[in-house]
Structure 1
Amino acid sequence: MRPAHCEEPTSATPPDAPKSYETPNLPRSTGVFVRRYVVVDTRGQTRSLTEGQLRQRRTLLDLYGQNSDYLTLHYPEVIDGKKTGNFDVEAVADVIKRQALYNSYRINAEWHASLRQKGLRA
């Protein structure tokens, strides 16, 4: 079971969101290629990022279209049980990396399953 702060939000609008809250266009991780995480940002640009780049606050803000409100609402930084008003860089980076690894594995598993269909010997 994953920690609650590392999971991708499931509902479009969180219960504690302000009335004017709009669900933003979110970046999606598409896979991993030679120790680089391939991510499509909110503007539709494909970016290939290293693990070090994913741990930078400015890179994460670029991926989410400078929407720090969304990141702070879904991934709050908590120190001594209190929210600091910032987002947790490690939690956001972990979610992006987990999605990229999952998508890479799923694509490879589907490709392998297509090779192993009945009648094929590979």
Structure 2
Amino acid sequence: MPNVILRVVLSTCVTAVAGVLPAAAEAAKVERAPAVREIEVVVDGSYRPDRITVAEGERVRLNFVRRDRSPCTREVVFAALGIRRELPTDQPVTIELPALTAGVYEFNCGMNMTRGVLEVVARKP
């Protein structure tokens, strides 16, 4: 009889641990995912900031808020990244950027009059 109880207890413990391990492993993956850096860019006659510096491979989310009512600033273009987005007045527009390699990526309004730069710097070894 004691062996039966021992087997039941061991079986219950193994089942409980097996059920927890996948959840713990999944939680660890979530914790290791790099955080997304959010940067607000106000559009009001110019981009503020007009120069953004991020690290190579960093996950970045740009939140454009257009205050300007000029038709010139109604869209933002990242030509090198193939991104073109409308910017309605007083409505935030989020642009998720892919992990980028080191370099300079220009962005501008649809008329190419208002300009900014996204500089991606190499990570130090």
Question: One fold, TM greater than 0.5?
Answer: no
TM-score, length basis structure 1 = 0.24
- The answer to which structure has the higher strand fraction is 2
Q: TM-score, normalised by structure 2?
A: 0.24
Larger Rg: 2
Determine which structure has the larger helix proportion and give its number: 1
